Structure 1
């Protein structure tokens, strides 16, 4: 201890002693004297404490925005929204989804009680409005999203049709007076729907072609179609995509490429760049392995061989296949499912519009957007992420209802990119800058072979959280783990995740929500509920505020320890204490 003269222990000895202490004891020791305080704030000391306490790999550098290891330790310790400050119990059934307005002043919740509730995000959160969707034959509400200027709310739900058939429907609600502006059919219901811009939203439709073959059509809808003039188009077909092996397009979302050049956080430090991706990314420029072996003159070699009449090559291939079946030349014999899939592949081979030649954004096409959705090619469970470019002229309902002109033989649109997850996808979320896509999945067994599309492989209980860079179309982080799910493949449901500037959060079936740091790839907090946590949502203007929604019919509000201290300090003292002090003085 410093007694005013020379210190009794040199700094180097104190440093070695402090290395054996935890962070709380180091801070306490720093209160003893000036020398101990100086050593207790040493950068090398806090670097050691940081890596040891948070169990971060030493190959991971410090956060690029951090000014010191002490401040970085404090950031992770004090700014995580892990303190429960309020529980909202106005819903009477499972709460399925949460979404904030872009201003952060409002948020919406969807529930199995068939209501969508609008909440005012103040110091004490309060219910502002509740819309019951049962009068419109809805079974429940499942998803919501505010448009870019927060004037409209998209609400997605399950619609009960004739003979108790279930499909999806999207409703648009005005935030000015909470009136219902329009309703759009949405099939299947887990397409959810999303906004493309301020006034246009995307919905889906599904057309069955065979037992395991179908066609997904994605439509662009004007939000005001119920009040627009009859002379103005209120709907336009965006894309028409063939589905094989019982797969369908689900969970659509839109990424804005114009934000890529100013990301909030880059995730490409050396360790992750050196790591090999566990999820292969396929370029869909060709239709088969045989075509990939040919010289690649274009992304769609078969398309350039089409004669002027169109469709002859596909017809010849299909006819040859039928001839082989009739002459018993197919070995081994094909099942009914394999036969349907093969015929569908041959039919669509030259009846599909080629993919875009250059998917990655450039300065000239920075205004384009990506349509991102879950899909598949082997089984009905979603195991791939499809990406389709949306060009500026496609972002309005003006023009022909059936969309762009195409050759008479082009029935379908091709995907521009596919990311194969090798597992059941149960959640997706974009970073605020739209640069990174986070994907929740439950892995299939390694080297599994799918012989029947109606019997997908068993899935793991552990949930893997993958991270993909949409600028390079590559996986950039090792999968995050901590959360778990237990439902089997055929009953698996969506668990919504959310991403803030520095954190990513997800629900889970183990009755907890989870928060990870995006830079360090570490789990920072577990947030407890009494049942499955279905959805999480960060405030877009304050990442130290997080909401979680659960099957326990409760929405919990979580704030960081730092925010809680600040709010408690601002609270005025009760007036009765002042009066009692005055009474004591008078006496």
Structure 2
């Protein structure tokens, strides 16, 4: 029995299950089974040898252990067909060992049951039927490489930005349609758009990009259509910008002293107005020196975090802090965890000189921020009519440049994304092959070709011990490419430079499947925050690819077929000119 059964043998096995209406579970050894098989293959029939005692042997005479062994050679779909024929087969086919072995055969022995799954059969169905691995749609509206994806919080929209300088808003449906588009290259002179993000209630959209080698940020309103409200220069360009709240946007601006980077706030209603001298108002002093790089800025509110969330269960402190900041981190950690409840937490990638190897954490007091913004608004209202004001207060440095907390990942950070529950940071990175000695501050350590996804718990400030691997890098150390991933309750996804996106089981770290892009790097992949069986990936091939699970794909095709039939009926029933003339 050291082979898979053929389709004819499977069909014969199914037929035998119906050949008797009364079971006989008599013990029988392998020799008797082989004798019966040989007799049947030799053409013996019950009529030709009615007196032979083996004529009464049926499928029901097989012991359960032998049937279980036979089932183990079937494909899972065939096993499900067999166990639907009778109660006896159903009991045997639901054996835990059988489905554990079938799961291991599909995804490897590293696969484990999810915490919410009771049986291995449920685990197999979950991974096979509900993982978003089916190519469902291909959207071809971009004319150049696509860099980034961002979903709305309600899961109904997503945006894409790219090298063609446009930002496109897509409406998820059957099929997915382009809802809004705006070309910042044609209308604002941008070179390209790099990043986008919705605010909490999905009424505003932040877009950042590059114009004349300078970073720029734009504010779009989605309340009545898709309207460009405000744009401004942003320094550094890799900061991207972030939403402080539904109506306040945080971005960077170079200080006049050139010793610090000012973090500026634009609020809804300011409309990008300026004072006569062009100076921003100060709302809070914060220690950000120009020697500290700020990339992939995110704003996290502790009150939005779920302390008992089961998204990632086990964390440890594998990644220690840098020696320079270790003592400070130990002192600030308790303060950070106790005080961030009533404020904003800035999370960003940082590093010194050419390195981008650390995750920086900086806390901003909410009470002080609110009081100064309110004062700034009052001062603006008290100005005489016709006087122009600047609605972008800045956050300037105070004394020594430092972060409240630093986590060193010992490698190059290629992309970061905060989960929709504001609890976890999804980091895509490439490890250093050798740790730099620090003698040359401009040294770029050699990077591994293997990428990794690491998950950082922003509640405990610890790195999850699970490592998601398999995606590769093609570029060298001096010309690495940014690549963004995402994570949800059960799945982790990420792009790669090897023409594929990758999807893992979040609980065991097992690679479930690869999502192919035709000879093009995949720069970003994201999961719908409302429906984790819906994934979007983009890359250098200029195509937006939508992936659904097998269950969702079946529903999608059924819905599309229904809509096609309805549209055909409407066209068929539409009265023609001849019908009108006949009535007249």
- Structure 1 length as normaliser, TM-score? 0.76
- Please name the residue that 2:356 is paired with: 382
> Equivalent of 2:500, from 503, 512, 537?
512
> Equivalent of 1:546, from 535, 538, 552?
535
Structure 1 residue runs of 4+, over 6 Å off? Answer: 227-231, 283-286, 400-406, 575-578
Does residue 184 in structure 1 map to residue 159 in structure 2? no
- Would the aligned equivalents of 1:181 and 1:224 in 2 still touch at CA under 8 Å? no
Shift of 1:385: 0.7
Structure 2: how far apart are the matches of 1:460 and 1:405? 37
> Equivalent of 1:532, from 521, 526, 530?
521
Spell out, residue by residue over 1:80-132, the C-alpha distance to the aligned partner (whole angstroms, 9 max, x if none). 11111211111111111111111122221111111111122111111122111
- Please name the residue that 1:126 is paired with: 177
Shift of 1:483: 0.8
Does residue 198 in structure 1 map to residue 198 in structure 2? no
Spell out, residue by residue over 1:530-585, the C-alpha distance to the aligned partner (whole angstroms, 9 max, x if none). 3111112222211111111111111111111111112333433848999xxxxxxx
- Would the aligned equivalents of 1:374 and 1:382 in 2 still touch at CA under 8 Å? yes
**Within 5 Å, which residues of 2 pair with 1:151-300?**
151-160=203-212, 166-175=213-222, 176-206=224-254, 215-226=260-271, 236=283, 239-244=286-291, 248-269=293-314, 277=318, 279-282=319-322
Does residue 371 in structure 1 map to residue 363 in structure 2? no
- Would the aligned equivalents of 2:150 and 2:526 in 1 still touch at CA under 8 Å? yes
> Equivalent of 1:140, from 189, 192, 198?
192
Give SS of 2:269's match.
coil
Deviates more, 1:364-373 or 1:418-427: 364-373
Structure 1: how far apart are the matches of 2:83 and 2:453? 40
Structure 2: how far apart are the matches of 1:357 and 1:31? 58
Mark the CA change 1:32 to 1:485 in structure 2 (over 3 Å): closer, same or farther: same
Structure 2: how far apart are the matches of 1:565 and 1:111? 31
Shift of 1:405: 10
Structure 1 or 2: larger helix share? 2
- Please name the residue that 1:5 is paired with: 23
**Within 5 Å, which residues of 2 pair with 1:187-586?**
187-206=235-254, 215-226=260-271, 236=283, 239-244=286-291, 248-269=293-314, 277=318, 279-282=319-322, 358-360=335-337, 362=338, 365-377=340-352, 379-396=353-370, 397-399=373-375, 410-412=398-400, 414-530=402-518, 531-570=520-559, 571-572=561-562, 574=565
Mark the CA change 1:455 to 1:425 in structure 2 (over 3 Å): closer, same or farther: same
Shift of 1:454: 2.5
Structure 2: how far apart are the matches of 1:242 and 1:429? 24
Segments of 5+ residues of structure 1 without an aligned counterpart are: 161-165, 287-291, 301-354, 579-587
Shift of 1:29: 3.2
Aligned residues: 493
Mark the CA change 1:372 to 1:18 in structure 2 (over 3 Å): closer, same or farther: same
Mark the CA change 1:402 to 1:92 in structure 2 (over 3 Å): closer, same or farther: closer
Mark the CA change 1:490 to 1:146 in structure 2 (over 3 Å): closer, same or farther: same
Deviates more, 1:258-267 or 1:529-538: 258-267
Please say which structure displays the higher CA radius of gyration. Answer: 2
Mark the CA change 1:476 to 1:227 in structure 2 (over 3 Å): closer, same or farther: closer
Structure 2: how far apart are the matches of 1:517 and 1:16? 28
- Would the aligned equivalents of 2:455 and 2:463 in 1 still touch at CA under 8 Å? yes
- Would the aligned equivalents of 2:494 and 2:501 in 1 still touch at CA under 8 Å? yes
Mark the CA change 1:299 to 1:82 in structure 2 (over 3 Å): closer, same or farther: closer
- Would the aligned equivalents of 1:199 and 1:223 in 2 still touch at CA under 8 Å? yes
Structure 2: how far apart are the matches of 1:521 and 1:460? 20
Structure 2: how far apart are the matches of 1:221 and 1:371? 16
Structure 2: how far apart are the matches of 1:113 and 1:80? 32
Structure 2: how far apart are the matches of 1:223 and 1:504? 35
Mark the CA change 1:203 to 1:405 in structure 2 (over 3 Å): closer, same or farther: closer
- Structure 2 length as normaliser, TM-score? 0.77
Segments of 5+ residues of structure 2 without an aligned counterpart are: 1-15, 25-59, 377-391, 570-584
Shift of 1:31: 4.0
Give SS of 2:470's match.
coil
Spell out, residue by residue over 1:466-517, the C-alpha distance to the aligned partner (whole angstroms, 9 max, x if none). 1222222222223211111222333223212122222121111111111112
Mark the CA change 1:234 to 1:106 in structure 2 (over 3 Å): closer, same or farther: farther
Structure 1: how far apart are the matches of 2:480 and 2:293? 15
Give SS of 2:312's match.
coil
